Amino acid sequence: MTVPPARRRRLRTWAPSLDGANLHPVLASEAETVAGPALVDLASNDYLGLSRHPAVIAAAEDELRRSGVGAGGSRLVTGSRPVHDRLETALARWLQRDRVFLFPSGFQANLAAVLALANRHTTVLADRLIHHSLLVGVQASGAQLKRFAHNDLDALRQTLEACRSQRPDAALVVISESLFSMEGTSPDVPALAALCKTYSARLLLDEAHALGVLGLGGRGLGLGVEGIALISGTFGKAFGSGGAFLACDREQADALLQTSGAFRYTTALAPPLAAAALAALDLLTTHPCWGSDLVKQSHLWRDRLAAQGWARPAGLGPILPLLVGEDQPALEYQQRLEAAGVLTVAIRPPTVPEKTARLRLVLHRGQSDQALHALETSLGPGPLRS
C-alpha cells in the first residue's frame, strides 16, 4: 500500500449536525473538547435536506421499534423484512424498471454491478472519471479495462469501433455516471445508450448523485432510456438515508439473485434505513419539482460566481466545482471560508487529476441568499476578474 506524501495526508473529521442545516467539523480526536460556531453546509450530499425531514425520521423510528436496528442476516436467510419488499417495489415503479435489489452501501452495489456484467473475458470501457468503487469492481472482475476521455462520446465510439474490429464477438461493457461527483458534469445519456446499442455493449449507469435531483421528477437521467443494463443508485445522498440499490430488467435480476455474492452473502440493509428511504421516496413522489427547483437555484449560483470572476462551474446540477489548481491555495480557500462560517471542502489529487485541486460546493434545497452572499464575500474576486 502506497502512503501519500505528508502534504496530502487525510484526517477523519467529526461533523455533528446542530440544526439540520449547519455543521461543525472538527478532528475526530478533538470531538469531545472542541466547540465552535455552526457552519453553513456547502459540503454534504444531502441535496434535499431529507436526512432531517420529520417524515423520514418518523419512518425510521417506527421501523426501529418494529424490526430492531439490524436485519440480522442476509436477504436469503433471515434478513428480509416487509419494508425491503415495499421499497424495492416502489423504486422499480418509480424508475420504470422491472426489479430492484437493495445493498448496504453504494460501494458494495457498484462492485456487484460490475461483477454482474463483466468477467475475465470482458472488455470494459470506462469514463476516465468514474468512481473508485467501479474501478475496484473492474479489477475484481478480471476484465480488460480501457478508459475514454470524460464524457467524450466520439472517443468512446472510436474505442468501441476498434474493439469490435479486433474481436467481433467480444463481450463489451461501458461504465459511466449520470452526474459526476467531483466534476458536476453529465453525459448525454440517451446518446450514450444508443452508442452502446450500436456496438452491442452493455451499459452500467451510476445514478448515485443524480437521483432525487436530475431528470423528470428527480428520477435520474436514465429514466425511459432503452439499452441500460444496470442502474446503480444510493440512499445516502438526496434520499437522506443510507444504503443503495441496483435496478434492472427481469433477466438481469434473476442472474443477480442467483450469482451475486455481494447480494447473497451480506447482512441486509438495516430496516430503519430502508424505511427512511421509502419515506424519502414518498416525499420525492409528492414533490416532483424539488429537484428542478434546486437545478434552477444552481444556475443562479453559477451566474453569480462567474460574475465575480470565477470560471463558471461546469454542469447543471447542485455540485459546483471551483477550480483552483494547486493543493495549497485550495486548502487556504477552505480555511478562509470556514473562518467565515461556510463549510466546503478542498478536493485534491488523487481524488481529482493533478493540477485540478478545487473547492467542491454543494447546494441544498432552500439554501438561503445569505449563504450565497457569505460565500461571495469570503471568496472575494475570482482570478478571471481583471
Catalytic center residues: 45, 131, 177, 181, 206, 209, 237
Residue type, 347: I
Cα 266 from Cα 109, distance rounded (Å)? 11
Please list, in sequence order, all residues whose beta carbon lies within 8 angstroms of the beta carbon of residue 142, skipping any fewer than 6 positions away.
119, 120
Instruction: Tell me which residue has cell 478532528.
Output: 27
- b/e map of 269-307 (b: 16 or more CB within 10 Å)? bbbbbbbbbbbbbebbeeeeebbeebbebbeebbeebee
Task: Report yes or no: 59 and 275 within 8 Å, Cβ to Cβ.
Answer: yes
Task: Report yes or no: 361 and 42 within 8 Å, Cβ to Cβ.
Answer: yes
Residue type, 212: G
The closest of 16, 37, 1, 8 to 342, measured between CA atoms, is 37
Q: Between 271-286 and 82-95, two packed helices, what is the crossing angle to 10 degrees?
A: 30
The closest of 79, 61, 62 to 70, measured between CA atoms, is 79
Do β-strands 171-177 and 122-127 pair in parallel, antiparallel, or remain unpaired? parallel
The closest of 134, 115, 230, 125 to 181, measured between CA atoms, is 134
Which three-class secondary structure string do you get for 124-139?
Answer: EEEECCCCHHHHHHHH
Task: Report yes or no: 219 and 230 within 8 Å, Cβ to Cβ.
Answer: no
Do β-strands 345-347 and 244-248 pair in parallel, antiparallel, or remain unpaired? unpaired
Q: Which residues pair with 177 in a beta bridge?
A: 206
CA distances from 89 to 93, 102, 267 (A): 6, 11, 20
